[in-house]
Amino acid sequence: MKVLVVGSGGREHAICWKFAESSKIEKVYCVPGNGGISQVAENADISADDFNKLADFVKANDIDFTFVGPEVPLSLGIVDYFKERGLRIVSPSKAAARLESSKIYSKEFMYKYGIPTAQYNSFSNADNALKFLANWEANKKVVVKADGLAAGKGVYICSGREDATSAVKQMMEEKVLGEAGTNIIIEEYVDGPELSYLVFTDGEAYSAMPASQDHKRVNDNDKGPNTGGMGAYAPAPLATEELNKKVEDTIIRKVIDGIKAEKLDYKGVLYVGIIMNGSSPYVLEFNCRFGDPETQAVLPLLDTDFVDICEAILDKNLANLKINWKKIFSVCVVLASGGYPRSFKKGFEIKGLENIRDKDSMVFHAGTKLENGKIVTSGGRVLNIVSVASDIKSAIDKVYLNVSMIKFEGIHYRKDIAGRALNGKQN
């Protein structure tokens, strides 16, 4: 069997690696891929939004199905296009992907189906948003969110009225996020630990993966600006059986019921980002795809053949597949370029990759490329180092031992990934 993975980051490397592990797989292709993905897949230099070329590539290479990593091709309708061309693809349609690509649609969906989330108001006009904020308390935290996709930069946590006013002006008047900020949400701030629930679904049945936790801030102790994610671990001890049941009963089942009621064509992975409001899980966001870097931590725990899961999703047969997870812990540390998430230099040689050889550790490349036979940095987040072990402390020790072997100019990483799981501090 041949599969195509669309994307070029650490998440896509983990997806390709998991496919390549399957005895059913003859070949994995990745577009456009990256320097490390070429170890497990054949990269093809096609843009992820050139659907016509992608579909021609799938046909020319007799690829059995496609799996999409990032959100942008989904929001542009890759699934609808592939279906028109008679191609199998494990991902949600453009209409279903609005759960991620429009924060306003997503909030309306949550309200309609009784899914717990923070209170909000939506605005399509800056004057109305500013009038609303004029009555906001000076020092009461509030969240301003762009409606559209903003590559992880669309959520501003504001300290009070003045800060939020500035956020609204930046998004709606100065257009710092382009079209993504044409419409916005102003949302009540909830303070609590966060968890990521990734869920396989064929649009009717669903199966939740072990819950994970991302580390969004660039520096230790959750300091500094937000990033695309500096590390993750799974399963998160915060996600007790009791909480998992609550999340399933109050959120996941209702989302799937809503997807059915709205007749949305949803096949693939649903990402439910939650925040604990006291003892109640609230939805922060939906993503219509695997999370990054959560996937790099979660997929090494998967014990069922990933191809079987994808086929069950495509055949709407997920209800009849038992998905097993290894009873181990996984920690993923992101190695970033100096300066990230702000400006950074690229093109530095990465040394020491050959030293990571233990069978419980993986290196998933994010921003790398192969240049004159050498792997060099080519992005903000460069590598994901992942280790698994029977307990979280051993997984942390192992991953940081591996991290210490990698060198490139300007290397930056957090030293406290998964520390929350050890010290009882969950966020």
In the complex, the residues that contact ligand GLY under the rule CB under 6 A are: 214, 229, 287, 291-292, 294
Helices and strands (H and E) in the chain: how many: 14, 22
SS3 274: strand
Would you say 187 or 292 has its CB closer to ligand GLY? 292
DSSP per-residue string spanning 27-70: EEEEEE--TTGGGTSEE----TT-HHHHHHHHHHTT--EEEE-S
**Which residue number places its CB atom closest to ligand GLY?**
291
Which distant-in-sequence residues (6+ apart) come within 8 Å of 187 by Cβ? 118, 119, 120, 142, 143, 144, 145
The single residue listed with the structure tokens 């800060």 is 163
Between helix 126-134 and helix 161-168 the angle, nearest 10°, is 180
Would you say 229 or 268 has its CB closer to ligand GLY? 229
CB of 313 to ligand GLY, least distance (A): 19
Asked whether the beta carbons of 53 and 46 are under 8 A apart, the reply is yes
* Rounded Cα distance, 291 and 272, in Å: 9
DSSP conformation class of 280:
E
Tell me the CA distances in angstroms from 1 to 25, 65, 68, 415, one per residue in order. 5, 9, 17, 40
Would you say 123 or 266 has its CB closer to ligand GLY? 266
CB of 396 to ligand GLY, least distance (A): 19
CB of 203 to ligand GLY, least distance (A): 21
CB of 226 to ligand GLY, least distance (A): 10
Would you say 12 or 214 has its CB closer to ligand GLY? 214
Would you say 35 or 291 has its CB closer to ligand GLY? 291
CB of 173 to ligand GLY, least distance (A): 27
CB of 329 to ligand GLY, least distance (A): 19
Would you say 287 or 330 has its CB closer to ligand GLY? 287
CB of 298 to ligand GLY, least distance (A): 11
Q: How many residues does the chain have?
A: 427
CB of 212 to ligand GLY, least distance (A): 9
DSSP conformation class of 354:
G
Would you say 38 or 196 has its CB closer to ligand GLY? 196
CB of 52 to ligand GLY, least distance (A): 27
Would you say 214 or 311 has its CB closer to ligand GLY? 214
Tell me the CA distances in angstroms from 354 to 153, 156, 175, 300, 392, one per residue in order. 34, 40, 45, 20, 25
**Largest pairwise CA distance in the chain:** 62
Task: Answer left, alpha or beta for residue 51, where phi above 0 means left and psi between -120 and 50 means alpha.
Answer: alpha
SS3 159: coil
Would you say 154 or 203 has its CB closer to ligand GLY? 154
Taking the alpha carbons at both ends of the chain, their separation in whole angstroms is 42
